[in-house]
């Protein structure tokens, strides 16, 4: 395989401009695994703290649909898919509690709560949010970046499988 995508495809997977540029420069990739190891190296060793914050702001808050920064249609659709378990298990009161804790989290840390939500219920997400809330800001910043990388990896898998299937639009 010889896999190459546009900068905008990488940007839909992770909203840091620098990261997307570096991924485009590093392509083509021999495999999904090759792309993921390159991505980890770039994300943790080369993207600066502003790049991390830029990527975080491309997500809607958990339980929401709108990101604070402009984002792509693909990214918005993926977010919706990733939160489908959470939304299916949500009750009115758990969503209200999630909303309140999101606000509290953002007030403390300055960025939204980032979690790889795929397959997780609203209750699990809420418990994780409350647990992580007690972290000091720098620790939480690194955990958020690790969660962002998990999200990016899942999205790359979708992106690469769409190419392998010969489809021009990634599966949602």
Residues in touch with its own copies (CB under 8 A): 44-51, 53, 108-111, 136-138, 141-142, 145
Q: Which is nearer to its own copies, 25 or 49 (CB)?
A: 49
For the bound state, the minimum distance from the C-beta of residue 108 to its own copies, rounded and expressed in Å, comes to: 7
Q: Which of 10, 52, 59, 74 is catalytic?
A: 59
58-62, long-range: CB within 8 Å, 24+ apart, which pairs?
Answer: 58/14, 58/15, 59/15, 59/112, 59/114, 59/151, 61/102, 61/106, 61/112, 61/113, 62/86, 62/98, 62/102, 62/112, 62/113, 62/115, 62/117, 62/125, 62/129
Rounded Cα gap, residues 137 and 68, in angstroms: 20
* SS3 label, residue 57: coil
Q: What is the DSSP letter of 58?
A: T
Rounded Cα gap, residues 35 and 29, in angstroms: 6
Nearest Cα neighbor of 13 from 62, 58, 61 is 58
Indicate if 88 belongs to the active site.
Answer: no
* SS3 label, residue 124: helix
Catalytic residues: 59
């Amino acid at each position: 395989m010889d896999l190459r995508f546009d900068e905008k495809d990488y940007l839909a997977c992770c909203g840091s401009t620098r990261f997307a540029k570096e991924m485009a420069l590093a392509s083509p990739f021999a495999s999904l695994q090759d792309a993921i190891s390159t991505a980890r190296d770039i994300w943790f060793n080369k993207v600066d703290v502003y790049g991390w914050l830029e990527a975080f702001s491309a997500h809607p808050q958990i339980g929401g649909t709108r990101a604070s920064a402009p984002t792509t249609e693909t990214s918005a659709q993926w977010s919706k898919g990733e939160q489908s378990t959470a939304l299916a298990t949500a009750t009115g009161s758990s969503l209200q509690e999630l909303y309140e804790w999101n606000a509290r989290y953002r007030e403390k840390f300055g960025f939204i709560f980032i979690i790889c939500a795929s397959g997780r219920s609203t209750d699990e997400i809420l418990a994780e949010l409350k647990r992580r809330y007690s972290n000091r800001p720098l620790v939480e910043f690194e955990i958020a970046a690790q969660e962002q990388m998990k999200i990016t990896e899942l999205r790359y898998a979708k992106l690469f499988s769409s190419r392998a299937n010969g489809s021009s639009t990634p599966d949602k």
